[in-house]
A = this chain, B = another copy of it.
């Protein structure tokens, strides 16, 4: 069960128990050095500081979908964070001064547990279905639902800001 911290709020109905509006299929898995929440980096910046690469293993039936990906220096990886609660609509991260809505956080606990990770592609073996990344911030075995080439022209906003919470 989900542990509730002060100021946190739960949805009346857990999205995990709602009738599906759509379904996902897993196209692969992340292979990472992280096997427990305690050691798992909490974001991509922390993951890069560890300096340990990770891989994505793409299932055989989807490997043809990697053709041409060698041209991309960076990727957007979408994961399915299947070990996280889906019913915490307001959350109090451990080091945050106050609770925030889930859509103002990058917490893995979300109504739809999709993780977004921008990573550098350092190796690609299409036949084996192996992508090597500079780093990743999810547990070993986390399912992958999509891989997209990263376009600096539309995906990179260096001037984007997040106001510090008081």
User: Residues of A at under 8 Å CB distance from B?
Assistant: 9, 11-13, 15, 18, 20-27, 43-45, 58, 61-62, 64-74, 76, 78, 80, 82, 89-90, 99-106, 110-114, 116, 118, 120, 143, 145-165
Contact = CB atoms under 8 A, between A and B. Distances in A.
A165 B13 CA distance: 48
A117 B139 CA distance: 25
Given A24-B23, A154-B43, A111 B66 contact: no
Q: Is the interface of A mostly helix, strand, loop or mixed?
A: mixed
How many copies the complex holds: the figure is 2
A23 B23 contact: yes
Given A15-B25, A155-B157, 20 more contacts: A11-B61, A20-B24, A25-B112, A43-B151, A66-B101, A66-B103, A67-B90, A67-B101, A68-B100, A68-B104, A68-B165, A69-B101, A71-B163, A72-B162, A73-B159, A73-B162, A78-B114, A112-B146, A116-B116, A149-B162
Of the candidates A25, A45, A66, the one having the most CB atoms from chain B within 10 angstroms of its own CB is A25
Contacts of A150: 157, 160, 162
